Amino acid sequence: MDMPNFGAIPVAPNASLVTGTVQWPAQPGDDEDKPWKPAVTLLVHKARDIGDLANFCADEVGGVISVTLRGRDVKLPRPGTEIRLRVEFRGDEYGGNYYANAEDIEFIDDDD
């Protein structure tokens, strides 16, 4: 007897205020079948809670994550730049990715 397919279960609502250093902008891959999406690879220094939402980046502090940037006219920050942005994880039990709005990137100076 076949089991019913209930579909994928999406992750819980979540968001983190992440501060980190851009390691490098993600480059277009070799797979020509998939459209390139702007992204940055970020060394996470801090991951603060946002309200009562789950903070999926808390365990990533000290590690590196890839964040896909959404928005119009996305300008990728340069490697070595420290930034702060609201990051959300989207996906299900089969996988997912971190996302952020490019317009929300805040550049951090050394005094902050």
Spell out, as residue ranges, where the chain has pLDDT lower than 50. 112
**How many independent structural domains does the chain possess?**
1
Structural domain of 93: 16-107
**Which residues 6+ apart lie within 8 Å of 107 measured at CB?**
77, 81, 82, 83
**pLDDT at res. 5:** 62
**pLDDT at res. 97:** 94
Give the predicted TM-score (pTM) of the model: 0.82
**pLDDT at res. 42:** 96
C-alpha 4/C-alpha 44 separation (Å) is 40
Whether 9 maps to a domain, the answer reads: no
Whether 10 maps to a domain, the answer reads: no
- Residue count of the chain: 112
C-alpha 39/C-alpha 28 separation (Å) is 9
**pLDDT at res. 93:** 82
DSSP H or E run through 70: strand 64-70
**pLDDT at res. 28:** 54
C-alpha 79/C-alpha 88 separation (Å) is 22
Whether 112 maps to a domain, the answer reads: no
Render pLDDT for 50-73 as a digit per residue (tens, 0 to 9). 999 999 999 999 999 999 999 988
CATH code, 41: 2.40.50
